[in-house]
Amino acid sequence: NAGVTQTPKFRVLKTGQSMTLLCAQDMNHEYMYWYRQDPGMGLRLIHYSVGEGTTAKGEVPDGYNVSRLKKQNFLLGLESAAPSQTSVYFCASRDRENQPQHFGDGTRLSIL
Amino acid sequence: EDQVTQSPEALRLQEGESSSLNCSYTVSGLRGLFWYRQDPGKGPEFLFTLYSAGEEKEKERLKATLTKKESFLHITAPKPEDSATYLCAVRPNSGGYQKVTFGTGTKLQVIP
pLDDT in tens, A19-33: 999 999 999 999 999
Dump pLDDT digits (tens) for B22-56: 999 999 889 999 999 999 999 999 999 999 999 99
CA separation, residue B67 to residues A8, A26, B8, B47, B63 (Å)? 40, 35, 18, 18, 14
Judge whether residue A1 has pLDDT over 70: no
**Pairs of residues, one from chain A and one from chain B, whose beta carbons lie less than 8 Å apart:** 56
Judge whether residue B107 has pLDDT over 80: yes
Q: Residue A79 — left, alpha, or beta (φ > 0 → left; ψ -120 to 50 → alpha)?
A: alpha
Dump pLDDT digits (tens) for B47-95: 999 999 999 999 999 999 999 999 999 999 999 999 999 999 999 988 7
Q: Give the closest of A43, A97, A102 to B97, CB-based.
A: A97
Closest Cα to residue B24, out of B62, B70, B65, B55? Answer: B70
pLDDT at A103: 97
Average pLDDT, integer, range A94-103: 88
Which residues of chain B lie closer than 8 angstroms to A106, CB-CB? 41-43
- Judged by CB atoms closer than 8 Å, whether chains meet at A100 and B87 is answered as no
pLDDT at B28: 85
Which residues of chain B lie closer than 8 angstroms to A31, CB-CB? 97-98
Q: Give the closest of A40, A44, A103 to B44, CB-based.
A: A103
- B2 Cβ partners below 8 Å, 6+ apart? B25, B26, B27, B28, B90, B92, B99, B101
B102 touches chain A (CB under 8 A): yes
DSSP calls for chain B: --EEEEE-SEEEEETT--EEEEEEEE-SSEEEEEEEEE-TTS--EEEEEE-STT-EEEETTEEEEE-SSEEEEEE-S--GGG-EEEEEEEEESSS-TT--EE---EEEEEE-
Query: Sorting pLDDT into bands at 50, 70 and 90, what band is A80?
Result: very high
Q: How far A49 CA sits from the closest chain B CA (Å)?
A: 9
Quote the CA–CA distance of A3 and A13 in Å, as a whole number: 27
Query: Sorting pLDDT into bands at 50, 70 and 90, what band is A2?
Result: confident
Q: Give the closest of A42, A56, A98 to B4, CB-based.
A: A42
- Judged by CB atoms closer than 8 Å, whether chains meet at A42 and B104 is answered as yes
- A88 Cβ partners below 8 Å, 6+ apart? A36, A37, A38, A106, A107, A108, A109
Amino acid, single-letter form, for residue B68:
K
pLDDT at B96: 74
Q: Give the closest of A4, A56, A98 to B31, CB-based.
A: A98
CA dihedral B80, A9, B35, B60 (to 10 degrees): -40
pLDDT at B99: 86
Query: Sorting pLDDT into bands at 50, 70 and 90, what band is A66?
Result: very high
